[in-house]
Chains A and B, each alone.
Chain A
């Protein structure tokens, strides 16, 4: 054997060779990048480091519902404002898109021709038009709402203007804490009621109206406590003073445009996964449960949906991830999220491109990982449990 000549045909050697080659190239690339970057940075007088985070930002952010932000605050605070805004729009968008997607998915399967075709048109239009365009389109429509001076009141304390939707703001007074505690307690109680009724049904076969009991508990008990304790909450109505409304709450058009566009766009995709999920439950399952004498809505709730969910949840997860990543498009309408606030304005002001981009990318990676983690846990809980 000419082993010394043909040692390249040795599989072990070859695999080792390729891997070392990749590592070597990678290391060389990294080294090359770092040296050129360091050189470029030095030439442009950009100091690296994280010190800029504690410098005052010096610009205003129009939308910061959770943190009290002022222009004198630091870039670090800009980051947190942006992060919270990203999380807020993603959270609201995911919930709305899920609800919309499930409704439209069921509509598309309806035996009603008109209904299913309307749903089909919605899905095709909203799926096939770029999201960024939809965001801008909603935004231009919202900007054509009446000016603040000419705004009309729709319902008590609600104003639609081109500067956003003004609504009354709840003002909590002393004693509202009790109402809140009672509310939490009822939620916990309804959880235990559910467990108890499940156990009872398994042992005795008797059923208990869990949904209605817990709903009325959650709604009425806090309400009763609220009135007994002397209504410790009032509403602050927006009132026109000078050029703007004072008091009350405002939801900015940027947020509304993002919310509408994200949920309508993603809802179209979710409706398709819902549809294919429901279609994946074979007809025999329905017929068999019908033959057992289950009522139609029970068939849906106990037979079809649990099986459909197994198909729906994995693609649903990726839709949630997409929505979260797409929320970064807020930059086109000036929604102060992570990319616009911190990755855009802060970056331009400080010139710390590498640091800002690394932080923004790392944050998105973390959010993506957390969402997939939770959805994987949920997915595992609904999969077949083979005994």
Chain B
């Protein structure tokens, strides 16, 4: 209070506050930083304008520059009048949008896919957020959702027409592979990780061998295995659906990685937890189900989400064995005479769709990590 009499408080120098201060602090703090800033600005200047020009400003969407509806690549502005063109021709995405989302699913049955998509969101949201209202009841729904989805998408048990999987495609196949793979690999991974840490030498050896074998070979060899070798292993007359064969390969692949992630969580649980659980008389399965796994999984959820991102990206590999997922549908569109040569547009679009999914998953994993760090009584401490 007294200091008012002695000194007048002055404003801080302009160059340390506000926009100017921020610029100085973050971009031009010394000569080297300034040089870097200009270099980056120059590089961005080289890349960004031409990129945005191609994707948006000079691009055709549904109509070309002359006002015609684009139904053919020859109608893209760039082809009609090369002087004006130079942009992307996104009309291929609009014209083929149905295929990108549903594949060759019959149009009169497409409501089934739409309902499944909607129910998928209903099934996943309560899983993701702990504060979801009535979460407990929704989680029951999440558990039975795969059955409902199978019922809706595939057979309908006589109530609906069967839509064979060779009619599926696009986003539908990508999502089916991704989510079924994750949903099946999770319990398998838990069993494998428990098996690997088992005190019974035979069981631990079998699990370790399985995990290390799968982790040592590329997914593509497993997919080939499923496509080329599985038919040789099966008894006569059993003919597995193509989608199921790649699903088996993808699930096995993912479960090995999931097992290693969960094993990391199991290792972080202090020995005292095991001893305490055993001393109150819990059996092995009770102990794992009630004491160990809830803690181990809780601390590994971010890593589980990260491996799931990996799986989701890896589902694109099924293109190589001829499944028509999002990328496969894109390639099929490019094989069509009417759209040949628009490969960059298709691949950029597919990349964007994947980016939206994987980026939101990775954001979610970051959010979880933050929550775990600040969360109450997180994990073992």
Binding site for B on A (CB under 8 A): 15, 18-19, 22-23, 26, 33, 36-37, 39-41, 43, 110-115, 118, 124-125, 127-134, 136-137, 140-141, 325-326, 328-329, 331-332, 339, 343, 347, 353-354, 357, 360-361, 364-365, 368-369
Contact = CB atoms under 8 A, between A and B. Distances in A.
Contact of A118 (B40, B203, B347): B40
A328 B216 contact: no
A128 B319 contact: no
A331 B318 CA distance: 12
B300 interface: no
Interface in B164-223: 199-203, 206, 213, 215-221
B41 A114 contact: yes
Given A22-B206, A37-B232, A112-B26, A364 B347 contact: no
B228 A357 contact: yes
Contacts of B37: 112, 114-115
Contacts of B199: 15
Contacts of A118: 40, 43-44
B229 A353 contact: yes
A132 B319 contact: yes
Contacts of A129: 313, 351, 354-355, 358
10 contacts: A37-B233, A110-B36, A118-B40, A125-B355, A133-B354, A325-B219, A339-B221, A353-B232, A365-B217, A368-B217
B218 A364 contact: yes
Interface residues of B, number: 53
B79 to A, nearest CB: 15
B316 A132 contact: yes
Contacts of B351: 129-130, 133-134, 137
Contacts of A41: 232
A353 B221 CA distance: 11
Which of A118, A125, A332 counts the most chain B CB atoms within 10 A? A332
Which of A23, A36, A141 counts the most chain B CB atoms within 10 A? A36
Contacts of B319: 132, 332
B36 A112 contact: yes
B161 interface: no
B116 to A, nearest CB: 23
A386 to B, nearest CB: 22
Which of B216, B229, B317 counts the most chain A CB atoms within 10 A? B216
Nearest to A364: B217
Nearest to B228: A353
B347 A137 contact: yes
Contacts of B320: 132, 329, 331-332
A118 B44 CA distance: 9
B314 interface: yes
Interface in B308-337: 309, 313-314, 316-317, 319-320, 327
